[in-house]
Amino acid sequence: MLLVQLSDVHVGSLFVQSTFDAVVDEVNKLKPDAIVFTGDLTDDGILPQYERARKEFKRFECPTIIPVAGNHDYRHTGYLLFKKFFPSKFVYEFDDAVVLTLGTARPDRDEGEVGYRQNMWMEKTLAKYPDKIKIVAMHHHLVGIPDTGTDKILILDAGDTLRTCLQSQVNLVLCGHKHRPWIWHLGPLEIAYAGTTSSTRYRGFFENSYNIIEVGKANVRTDIKIVGKKRFPLSELVDRYKPFLEEA
């Protein structure tokens, strides 16, 4: 099974059409089973941006599109438009995997929240799939990422959500929000972050990118694909990371 994770497209003033055109061409050649959009499809959550975003996303030739709202999508009552332009389910079943989506965005707030009810629902729902790879998709990040500044706008109840993921034996969590590709390994749980697919709002990683996830019967592999350039394991990006240190 092949998944593609696109994130932080930001249709609006910072959207780069030529980059998105290249992404559409690359992803369609991959023929993925599903495309997961982990939030911020628009920049301001306003009607013209939603209209354009829907038009752009229809260019993908994929049987299953899984949209998740970001904090930018929920601005200016955009939460009402998201449901209209990108109706979706909460659980997507495949032969070897199940993908569950969580809504972390709140109207006109940058920080995210899962909440007690969603955590309880996630635990009960994933218990129905003991033999499948479990993937959870959300917008906001669960754990801080290097080169991204303050962590004040992460998920407010990140600890509760991490506990639920570990308790439910989730294999992979897909996040966006920070525009910085990264991956954390927390025992059996991997948390993969996507960079910005097609905006100029870079943070710590100055190229547009997206993630490609290969799901087997018992394992998951997550690669990063730099738009127009090479594809390689996301873990290699972490291994090569060298923090900026001022010379004494």
Q: Is residue 245 part of a domain?
A: no
Q: Is residue 247 part of a domain?
A: no
**How confident is the model at residue 217, as a pLDDT?**
84
DSSP state of 77: G
Q: Is residue 114 part of a domain?
A: yes
The number of distinct structural domains making up the chain is 1
pLDDT string in tens for the chain (248-residue length): 999 999 999 999 999 999 999 999 999 999 999 999 999 999 999 999 999 999 999 999 999 999 999 999 999 999 999 999 999 999 999 999 999 999 999 998 888 999 999 999 999 999 999 999 999 999 999 898 888 876 556 789 999 999 999 999 999 999 999 999 999 999 999 999 999 999 999 988 999 999 999 999 888 999 999 999 999 999 999 998 877 654 44
**How confident is the model at residue 99, as a pLDDT?**
98
**Residue 220, domain CATH:** 3.60.21.10
**How confident is the model at residue 241, as a pLDDT?**
86
Q: Is residue 248 part of a domain?
A: no
**How confident is the model at residue 146, as a pLDDT?**
85
**How confident is the model at residue 150, as a pLDDT?**
60
pTM: 0.94
Q: Is residue 63 part of a domain?
A: yes
Q: Is residue 244 part of a domain?
A: no
DSSP state of 74: T
Residue position matching structure tokens 């089973």: 33
89 CB-near residues (< 8 Å, 6+ apart): 101
**How confident is the model at residue 153, as a pLDDT?**
62
The 3-class SS string of 20-65 reads: HHHHHHHHHHHCCCEEEEECCCECCCCHHHHHHHHHHHCCCCCCCE
CB 28 within 8 A of CB 66: no
3-state secondary structure of 134: strand
**How confident is the model at residue 33, as a pLDDT?**
97
Domain extent at residue 188: 2-239
The rounded distance, in Å, linking the Cα atoms of 181 and 52 is 25
Q: Is residue 230 part of a domain?
A: yes
